[in-house]
Amino acid sequence: MYYYAFSRYLKQRFRTKVRRVSLNAGFSCPHRDGTPGRRGCIFCNELGFSRFAGKDISLREQIKSSITGARKRHAAEKFIAYFQNATNTNAEPEKLRSAYDTIKEFPEIVGLCISTRPDCVDEEKLDLIAGYTDYYEVWVEYGLQTVHDRTLETVNRGHTFSQSVSAIEKTAGKGIKVGVHVILGLPGESREDMVTTAEKISGLPVSGVKLHVLHVLKDTELERLYGRGEISLLSRDEYVKVACDFLENLRPDCVILRLVSDAKKEYLVAPGWINDKALVIRQIEAEFEARGTRQGMGLIVKR
């Protein structure tokens, strides 16, 4: 057990096989629709999100179809509804409630997970989400990406690290589990910068981390930069090493929601290796074995 895998957490928590089902509730992103900006993050192509991205299918139908698929493919018995596409708190509370309430029609759903931006929550929205914690396992996932403001600016995130800290603290304070997304290999970041991100997250009330490797999707600003040779990407071996460095410096009780991102083939420009997730995971485990370390060990050594 080199890291605290989400699958292990779910097994401990629910004593049965639980899978997330990714949904597109049709919310837009304020970073694209005018507040606070219109360009979006340089790496984002919203069509690259869940399999329902860009499709006009009701939430009810999405849930039904995903549950049927996950039952067949993974023998899953319970499900977490994952509102994944774009910014899932970007609407008036009543509209949000109506979307989230769809899960009540499915008794096999035991959890609600809402992906959003740290600058798109307020007390009212968080109170609404906290209301589901009486019946469901509830997570809010924030796109934190890095703790370094200069990088947030480079990738045009449109928010600062301190905005993330504020959202994380308010959310956790309401009894909602907080997950954060982190991208390794962002432009201009060194190994030390990424380790600092792990250390700072460890000091926050964060329950889980989802790791991504910087990858280039079609029709993004990042694709243009990559095409002009202005950014470089991590090789698989580099990612394996830096992911281990990161995890060694992350609290051991922080669940790893995902160890490496993948991308839809039709949108992925580079690096191609990210879609062989099983190999990357095996290599990370082999690297931990060779180092004789595991998640959180770096923090213990520094104390």
Q: Is 32 in the site for ligand SF4 (CB under 6 A)?
A: yes
Closest approach of Cβ 27 to ligand SF4, in Å?
9
Closest CB to ligand SF4 among 76 and 168? 168
Q: Which of 10, 25, 29, 268 binds ligand SF4 (CB under 6 A)?
A: 29
What separation in angstroms does the CA of 42 have from each of 153, 219, 255? Answer: 10, 10, 27
Residue ranges in 208-267 that form contacts with ligand SF4 under rule CB under 6 A: none
- Return the residue matching tokens 């959890």: 111
Interaction mask 141-180, ligand SF4, x per CB under 6 A: --x-------------------------------------
Could you give the CA distance from residue 9 to residue 253 in angstroms, rounded to a whole number? 10
Residue ranges in 74-93 that form contacts with ligand SF4 under rule CB under 6 A: 86-87
Could you give the CA distance from residue 60 to residue 102 in angstroms, rounded to a whole number? 7
Residue 161, phi-psi category: left (phi > 0), alpha (psi -120 to 50), beta (remainder): alpha
Could you give the CA distance from residue 225 to residue 216 in angstroms, rounded to a whole number? 10
> What would the DSSP string read from start to end of 216-227?
EETTSHHHHHHH
Could you give the CA distance from residue 252 to residue 283 in angstroms, rounded to a whole number? 20
Contact 198, 180 (CB under 8 A): no
Q: Which of 20, 31, 148, 210 binds ligand SF4 (CB under 6 A)?
A: 31
Among the residue ranges 37-45, 171-179, 193-201, 273-281, the one whose residues contact ligand SF4 (CB under 6 A): 37-45
Closest approach of Cβ 194 to ligand SF4, in Å?
19
Closest CB to ligand SF4 among 64 and 218? 218
Closest approach of Cβ 277 to ligand SF4, in Å?
20
Exposed/middle/buried for residue 101 (C-beta within 10 Å: 0-12, 13-18, 19+):
exposed
Q: Is 41 in the site for ligand SF4 (CB under 6 A)?
A: yes
Q: Is 40 in the site for ligand SF4 (CB under 6 A)?
A: yes
Exposed/middle/buried for residue 74 (C-beta within 10 Å: 0-12, 13-18, 19+):
exposed
Among the residue ranges 38-46, 64-72, 223-231, 235-243, the one whose residues contact ligand SF4 (CB under 6 A): 38-46
> Interface residues with ligand SF4 (CB under 6 A)?
29, 31-32, 40-41, 44, 46, 86-87, 117, 143
